Amino acid sequence: MAAGAHETSLGIDHRKLGMWTFLGSEFLFFGAFLATFLLYVQTTAGGPGVEIFDIPFTSISSFVLLMSSLTMVLAHNAHTQGDLRRMRMWILATAGQGAVFLGGQVFEFNVFVREGLTFGTSPFATSFYVLTGFHGAHVFIGILLLLTLYTFSLTGKVKPNQPLKTEMIGLYWHFVDIVWVVLFTVVYLIPELTVLD
C-alpha cells in the first residue's frame, strides 16, 4: 500500500482524504454548540448578555487569526518550493498569531468573569464559554502542531520534498480559521445588531 497518491483508487493521498473526512464531521460538532448558543443568546438569567462583548477588541484578534491563514498558506507555498527556511519563518509567524489570538481570548474571558459573567451564570454564559472555548482548544492544538512541524523541519523528520505535511496542518489551521469567521459574525456582530436594539 503506497503512500504515494499514484497507487490509490482515487489518486488522492490517504492522509489528505482522511483530513478532509474529519473536517467534514467537525462542522456538526461546532454547529451544535453554535445552535445552542443561538437558542440561549437572550437567556441571561438576569446576568450580563451580549452587551458585554467588546467588539473593537475582538475585531482585532479576529483579524490576527484571519491573517494567520495567510502566513500558513505562504508556509505551504515555501515548502512546495522546497524552501524550508522560509517555510519555518512563516510557520513561526502563524503560530505567533495563533498565540496572540489565544491570549486575547484568555484576556477576554477574564474581563467577562470580572464583570459577572461566570461559567454558571446563565445558559447564555455556559453556551458562550463552551462554544468559544472549544474553538480556542482547536487553536491551541493547532499551535502545538505548528511548533511540532517547526521542530521536525529542523531535525530532518520533515524534509523539503514533503510539503504534504505542511499542507495537512494548514488544512486544519484554515478550518479553525473559517470556524472563527462564522463565530465572529454569528456570535459577536449579529447579536450586537439585533439583540441590543
Partner 1 sequence: MSSTTATRPGRYQRPNPREGFISWITTTDHKRIGLMYFWTVLVFFFFGGVQSALIRTQLAQAEQSVLTEEIYNQVFTMHGITMVFLVVMPFAAAFFNYLIPLMIGARDVAFPRLNAFSYWVFLFAGIFLYSSFLLGGAPNGSWVGYAPLSTDAVSNMGFYAIGINALGISSLAASINFIVTILNMRAPGMTFMRMPVFIWMALVTSFLLLFAVPIISTALFMLMFDGVYGGQFFEPATGGDPILYQHLFWLFGHPEVYIMILPTMGIISETLPVFSRKPLFGYAAVVFAGAAIGFIGFGVWAHHMFTSAMGPVARSAFALATMFIAVPTGIKIFNWVFTMWGGKLRFTTSMLFSIGFVSMFTIGGLSGVTHAIVPHNAQQHDTYYVVAHFHYVLFGGALFGLIAGVYFWFPKVTGRLMNETLGKWHFWTWLLGFNLTFGPMHMSGLLGQPRRTAVLPAELGPTVELYNLLSGVGLIILFGSALVFLYNLLASTKKGELAGEDPWDARTLEWLTTSPPKAHNWDKIPTVTHRDEFWHRKYAEDEAGRPVAVPAGAAEDVGDPRGDNAEALDEHIHMPDASYWPFVMVLGLVPLMYGLNFASAPLIAIGLLWAIIGMYGWIIEPLAEGDDDDPLDAPNPSATTGAVTY
Partner 2 sequence: MSATETPQQEAEHGHHPTARDYVNIAVILGILTALEVSTYFFEFGPLGVPMLIVLMVIKFLLVVGWFMHLRFDTKVFSRLMYTGLAFALVLYSITLAALYLDNFSAMT
Write down the least CB distance from residue 70 to partner 1, Å. Answer: 26
- Shortest reach from residue 171's CB to partner 1, in Å: 14
Q: Which residue type does 189 have?
A: L
**To the nearest whole angstrom, how small is the minimum distance from the Cβ of residue 115 to partner 1?**
17
We find the least distance from the C-beta atom of residue 126 to partner 1, in angstroms, to be 4
CA distance 188 to 55: 7
* Residues engaged in binding partner 1 (CB under 8 A): 1-10, 12, 14-15, 17-18, 21-22, 24-26, 28-29, 32-33, 36, 39-40, 43-45, 119-123, 125-127, 130, 144, 148, 152, 156-157, 159, 161-162
Residue 65: partners with Cβ closer than 8 Å, 6 or more residues away: 97, 98, 101, 139, 177, 180
Q: Select the binding partner of residue 68 from partner 1, partner 2, none (C-beta < 5 to 8 A, by kind).
A: none
Shortest separation between residue 195's beta carbon and partner 1, angstroms: 15
- Name the residue nearer to partner 2 (CB basis): 23 or 130: 23
What does the block give as the cell for 196?
441590543
For partner 2, the binding residues (CB under 8 A) are 4-6, 10-13, 16-17, 20-21, 23-28, 30-32, 34-35, 38-39, 55-56, 59, 62-63, 66-67, 69-70, 72-74, 77, 80, 163-164, 167, 170-171, 174-175, 177-178, 181-182, 184-186, 189-190, 192-194
